[in-house]
Amino acid sequence: MKRKTKPAGKDVNAWDENSSFWSYGSQDLNTSVPNASSPTSFFTFIPYVPYFDLRIYRESKVKSIIKVHSEDMYRLLENVHFDGDYYRIKYIRSGDWEYCWDLAVRVQFFGKMLGMTLYPKRLVSQKEKRVVYRSMILVNPYQLWDETLVNKFWNLQERIEFLIARILFHECVHVIISLGNIMPSGFGNTDIYLEFRKMLEVSVSKKLSTEHNNVQFRLWNLVLFGASGSESEEKLLERVQEIYEFLINEKYSNQKTGKAFHSPSDNKKIARKYTWMAAVKAGGSTQVTRRIWQVEARRLSIALKELFDRIDMELSNMGFK
């Protein structure tokens, strides 16, 4: 059984300068777009949410629902308890170094985001020649009283288990992709990671150059709007690429989750929702008026929807469904 991990010792450097920090969040695509003037607008308190003991759900049932749709994801979560503590989910040795991945899952009400993944926190021990990456998934089942879910699951326990499984599935897609990106070559390859890489490759292919360039241009403008003035052009270009991959990541995660749980994703809704998150990640409206920033964000949403549609068309032509 995979053990609960202990806090790092003094010889560990947390938040290594070479690691990046990104949060990926699943949202209800049917709700209105939040106020994007501040990142905190995504975590606004929701009044009138009934308070009760969330522990009525059964972890084993949640995991069994996920197992039906992905063996890779089930293995990821098999020995992780949803108590907010870290559990080791991956351990490999490459050369003289050990690489480990710890995952924590917590279920709680915390705002308007259905779920959020925080990663990777990189802990390095030179003494033990060990690198540990730590991810945390927050699951927020605030949609428990959504009319569609209530009609589908009258039993409250079954409803919350289904909802947690769906949210957790989406967030675990992000974790699996991150594993593939960060672990030494070949050790993080899974069906989910390889599917995502295929989508990313298609998005930057020559056939989609017009749509890809349009999105990159809008992202570049938004990054310039949010720049502090001291960053180099190289740093700004890196930010554009990071945000671009974030957007493709979210498209894939929403699409994968939608297919698994019979709730097909809509490119227009995905583009609209995650455009605002991308605009905030780009730095906000530091250098321009809020009005100009909003107009450019809307242009990004339009360009992104066109790119997503072309990605689907090209993947379909290649035999991917």
Helix/strand number for the chain, H first, E second: 9, 6
Pairing assessment for the beta strands 130-139 and 87-94 based on DSSP bridges: unpaired
Residues 19 and 141 in one domain: yes
Same domain assignment for residues 207 and 313: yes
**Residue 199: inside a domain:** yes
* Residues 296, 239 within the same domain: yes
**pLDDT tens track, the chain, 321 positions:** 455 664 443 333 332 333 333 455 555 555 444 444 443 333 334 444 445 577 789 999 999 999 999 998 999 999 999 999 999 998 899 889 999 999 999 998 877 788 999 867 899 999 999 999 999 999 999 888 889 899 999 999 999 999 999 999 999 999 999 988 888 777 778 889 999 999 999 999 999 999 999 999 999 999 999 998 888 999 999 999 999 999 999 999 999 999 999 887 799 999 999 999 999 999 998 899 999 999 999 999 999 999 999 999 999 998 876
Residue 188 domain flag: no
For residue 169, is it within any domain? no
CA-based nearest residue to 255, from 18, 29, 16: 29
The residue out of 98, 133, 151 marking a domain boundary is 151
Residue where one domain finishes, among candidates 123, 151, 179? 151
Query: Is 220 contained in some domain?
Result: yes
Assess whether 115 and 58 both reside in one domain: yes
On whether both 25 and 136 belong to a single domain, the answer is yes
Query: 285 near 296, Cβ under 8 Å?
Result: no
Q: Which structural domain, as residue segments, surrounds residue 257?
A: 194-317
Q: Are residues 259 and 139 in the same domain?
A: no
Q: Are residues 94 and 219 in the same domain?
A: no
Q: Are residues 253 and 136 in the same domain?
A: no
Do 16 and 140 have their domain in common? yes
Residue 283 lies in a domain: yes
Domain annotation covers residue 143? yes
Instruction: Count the domains in the chain.
Output: 2
In a domain, 137, yes or no: yes
CB 86 within 8 A of CB 102: yes
172 within domain boundaries: no
Q: How many residues does the chain have?
A: 321
126 with 243, same domain? no
Name the β-bridge partners of 97.
Answer: 94
